[in-house]
Amino acid sequence: MSAATGENRSDARLMLALESSCDETASAIIERDLTVRSNVVASQAELHEKYGGVVPEIASRAHVTNLLPVVQEAVTQAGITLKDIDLIAVVTRPGLVGSLLVGLTAAKTFAATLNVPLIAVDHVQAHLYACRIAAKRDLFPAIGLVVSGGHTNLYLCKSATEYELIGSTIDDAAGEAFDKVAKILKLPYPGGPHIERVAADGNPSAFKFVRTFIKEDRLDFSFSGLKTAVLYQAEGTPGAVKQPPPLDEQRINDLAASFQEAVVDVLVGKCKQALEQYQLQTLLIGGGVAANGRFRSALEEAAQENNFDLHISPREFCTDNAGMAAIAWEHYERGELADLKIDVTPGLVRKS
């Protein structure tokens, strides 16, 4: 792609990055050596809590309100002014169309006003690139897993900017399943942290939940059946004579622990299969579910037992943020600049 404004300059050193793919408005200032000078996030969790999930129209309106203050805070924390910016990066795919458009419109305006290049960033790829930022060295080729509320995708990461989708969920994303199970168990939104919290006091072997596709060669995921199994254990099976006991605190804890263990088993198992199938020794993990402590410890155990190189995104980069948009520097070095006519690509990433 050719640049509609600005030039690819060898002396460029500071990037302003914007992220608005879902329900977090974020901005970061990132140096060319991948140092993140500031990384500011405005969460919308309270706005969506009563609905038990993200409402797209509410999300896009909140981005309009939050974006400029977030940018100003990022600039202030970095100790610079907008005149110091050499490059604008913005997430354009995938995500909610209204949310993405707010960020892209702002990014185009900054690029045109400051006369600097614009770089389009893939949100999912950026989640994996967070591992590269933390490692401070090249990690490619590798297998990458992005696991969040919207995505459960396995990638063959051929280079820092070349990603081939090799596996994905056929129904619910893992993070979405966490949210739905939390609602079943009468836990607050977002569900992931609360499932993990109560699971700490539960028995992960109390319920023998299904591990879908775990023994199959396919690198896909499915969590809808697991969610339904939790529902039946919590509320009973329609029409059944025998119904489960009341949903007391210990039963909630045991259900949460057993559900979490089933998800972790599948995620770790598919990562190991992908490494074996593609004969690679490096695994990258990103996305909101990567913050889960049980998942992280299970990955570390698997890495030790199977002797592969594990890189999990730092927790501050797991949930949506703009710091991980440092991947834009990789595109910049390759001359992959965006035209001001560029549009967003909403929706989820699926295998063809």
Any domain includes 88: yes
Residue 123 is assigned to a ligand binding site: yes
Q: Does residue 248 lie in a domain region?
A: yes
Confirm whether residue 127 is marked as ligand binding.
Answer: yes
Q: What's the mean pLDDT in 194-217?
A: 97
Mean residue pLDDT across the chain = 94
Sequence letter at residue 143? I
Q: Does residue 26 fall inside a structural domain?
A: yes
Residue 282 is classified by DSSP as: E
Which pLDDT belongs to residue 8?
74
Whether the pLDDT of residue 9 is over 80: the answer is no
* Residues 250, 120 share a domain: no
**So what's the pLDDT on residue 348?**
63
Q: In the prediction, which pLDDT does 51 show?
A: 85
| CA–CA distance, 255 with 194 (Å, rounded to integer) | 13
Structure-model confidence comparison of residues 280 and 189, the more confident one:
280
- Residue 79's pLDDT is what? 98
Q: What is the pLDDT, as a whole number, of residue 49?
A: 85
Q: Is the pLDDT assigned to residue 214 strictly greater than 80?
A: yes
Same domain for 196 and 282, yes or no, is yes
309 is in an annotated binding site: no
Per-residue confidence (pLDDT) for residue 169, from 0 to 100: 96
Exposed / middle / buried, residue 51 (Cβ in 10 Å: 0-12, 13-18, 19+): exposed
* The predicted structure's pLDDT at residue 71: 98
Q: Does a structural domain hold residue 314?
A: yes
> Contacts by 154-158 with C-beta closer than 8 Å and gap 24+?
154/219, 154/270, 154/271, 154/274, 155/128, 156/274, 156/278, 157/128, 157/284
Same domain? For 114 and 66 the reply is yes
Residue 138 annotated as part of some ligand binding site: no
One domain for residues 280 and 311: yes
Q: Is 149 annotated as a binding residue?
A: yes
- Given a contact cutoff of 8 angstroms between Cβ atoms, the answer to whether 140 and 161 are in contact is no
Q: Is residue 348 part of a domain?
A: no
Residue 257 confidence (pLDDT): 98
pLDDT greater at residue 43 or residue 20? 20
Residue 242 has pLDDT above 70, yes or no: yes
Residue 148 annotated in ligand binding = yes
Under the banding of pLDDT at 50, 70 and 90, the label for residue 3 is very low
pLDDT beyond 50 at 34? yes
Does the pLDDT of residue 151 top 70, yes or no?
A: yes
Asked whether residue 166 falls in the same domain as residue 230, the answer is: yes
Clarify whether residues 44 and 167 are in a common domain. Answer: no
Residue 165 has pLDDT above 90, yes or no: yes
Confidence of residue 6 (pLDDT cuts 50, 70, 90): low
pLDDT reading at 2 higher than 50: no
Residue at 107 is within a domain:
yes
pLDDT of residue 5: 54
Specify whether 156 is located in the same domain as 273. yes
**Is 6 flagged in the annotation as binding?**
no
Find the mean pLDDT for residues 331-339. Answer: 96
Same-domain status, 168 and 220? yes
Rounded Cα–Cα distance for residues 200 and 196 (Å): 6
Q: Does residue 77 sit in the same domain as residue 211?
A: no
Task: Specify whether 139 is located in the same domain as 71.
Answer: no
- Supply the pLDDT for residue 239: 80
> What is the token pair recorded at 144?
């990458």
Is 281 within the bounds of a domain?
Answer: yes
How large a percentage of the chain has pLDDT more than 90?
A: 88
What is the C-alpha to C-alpha distance for residues 92 and 210, in angstroms, rounded to an integer? 36
Is 339 inside any structural domain?
no
Q: Determine if residue 191 is labeled as part of a ligand binding site.
A: no
Residues 252 and 138 reside in one and the same domain: yes
Domain count, the chain: 2
Q: Tell me, what CATH number does 23's domain have?
A: 3.30.420.40
Check pLDDT > 50 for residue 177: yes
Residue 196 annotated as part of some ligand binding site: yes
pLDDT at 324 over 80: yes
Residue range 185-205: mean pLDDT, rounded:
96
Dump pLDDT digits (tens) for 99-140. 999 999 999 999 999 999 999 999 999 999 999 999 999 999
- 162 annotated ligand-binding residue: no
Question: Both 119 and 259 in a single domain?
Answer: no
Show the domain range for 137: 131-318
Q: Is 4 a residue whose pLDDT tops 70?
A: no
CA dist., res. 108 & res. 113, Å (int):
8
